[in-house]
Structure 1
Amino acid sequence: MKRLNDARVALKHNGTFASGHQIEQAREALADFFTTVMPKVFDVDFDSIDMVDLLTQPEAKRLLKEAQTNADVGDYIHAMAGLDLAFKALLRHYKHRDWGSRRRPFDFGDDLQFFDEPKISARDRMTSRLAKLSEFMDEAQEALRVMSLGIDYPSFVRFNVTTPNLHAYGNGQHRYVRAKFLEVVTAEDYDWARHFVIESGLRASKAHDLQAMMREGCKANRSVAEPPRTACLDRWCRSLTGRARVTMRTDPVCP
């Protein structure tokens, strides 16, 4: 600790940067310190600590750990596919959560499905406009879900570029094509993508406080004997009366 503090003082007060040898020496000293102290104080092996354990989204956490088992044996393509599943599970966690009402603030509407009617095609002049709108909605819906949870969108785009394009089937299976670009995926690519999913989960966890607030608000409103009443301002034509009338109506509190 003294060597580390001496290096800090030299940089802060004298503008002297630590050498590569000093930095490595400090890293080794700190690693030895935590390796010795962690089991004694927290009863946890230092090498077993993983940021995944900080996540509060159970399905995403499980899939991240499964992806790691593939990375441990060098199958980075399959591991990247697992990371993509984990990220999708992260978004679903907030899309389908019980918010205490029918409002789902991180949903942005139902997903477009292949069997939706009417059938649309960009080559059909009668439905080409609908096809364009549907394509925009699909892309915008995903972007809104990502950004509304505080996830960095450019990083999300990079994540999509480096992970396989998964296809879901009705039996719950997922498949992907081993495209040429996946053959050059490295351990560094996997580490970056894994860190992105973990960081996204930590950012998204801020929404849990909002969920608690919505639940408590709806619970409080349902517990009162008489439904709360909201004021509706009905403006008369001021040129005739110069007055405004306030009427009261009972509205559902948790639509």
Structure 2
Amino acid sequence: MNILVVYAHPEPRSLNGSLRNFSVKRLEEAGHAVQVSDLYAMNWKASLDANDSRVAPRDLRFDPSLDSKHAFEHGLQSEDIAREQEKLRWADTLILQFPLWWFSMPAILKGWVERVYAYGFAYGVGEHSDARWGDRYGEGTLAGKRAMLVVTVGGWESHYSARGINGPIDDILFPIHHGILYYPGFDVLPPFVVYRTGRTDEARFATLCDELGRRLDDLANTAPIAFRPQNAGAYDIPALTLRPEIAPEMNGFAAHIG
């Protein structure tokens, strides 16, 4: 299997760095081909702007979507964006690894998504009609591939429980799982989350590696999160709200999981 690890932590000697090294070694020893995009080591440019095209914007006013579309369609994207898109095409599985900072991914990883997910590559694809609303949420350019998050968290697991002060971890990660990964077609696996990172000694690190190793060994067989596909009948189109008979007792994020 071809596996792309997109890694976002500035310190290679951190817990994240050690877990990344463990993952790459474990995957390669199992016979997988692995590429790593180490965003900080790459000095990845996080901001989406007019410089993402090798030519000037179509007009004097920069339009992030339309200029992204023009650059993608005409082979004018900056080389760093095109390289990452090729890695995504190559990969059977994507692993995004990052620390949870202010309830989301680090800005550099968000910038990777914003720039690499170009119009025509990850969004704006497929037919828009009364029967379907584009190839997305279970369909799209990246359909047939798998994705998983490896996330480190400073707080206690109870802080991110169903009644925890920070909110359930599944809700916090929903915009990434559903909006960034499922949207362009990935089958999204349950995340691997490490809590109380500051309390990790050698013994706990060994336990974490055992647990993570089992998840990595089973990447091809783990059941994905059962998000509801957009164009399979659960949603009214073009309103894109769940039909009244679908999970009528539920609202919010959980309603979109079958």
Task: Give the TM-score band, short-chain normalised.
Answer: under 0.3
More strand by share: 2
TM-score, scaled relative to structure 2: 0.22
TM-score, scaled relative to structure 1: 0.22
Larger Rg belongs to: 1
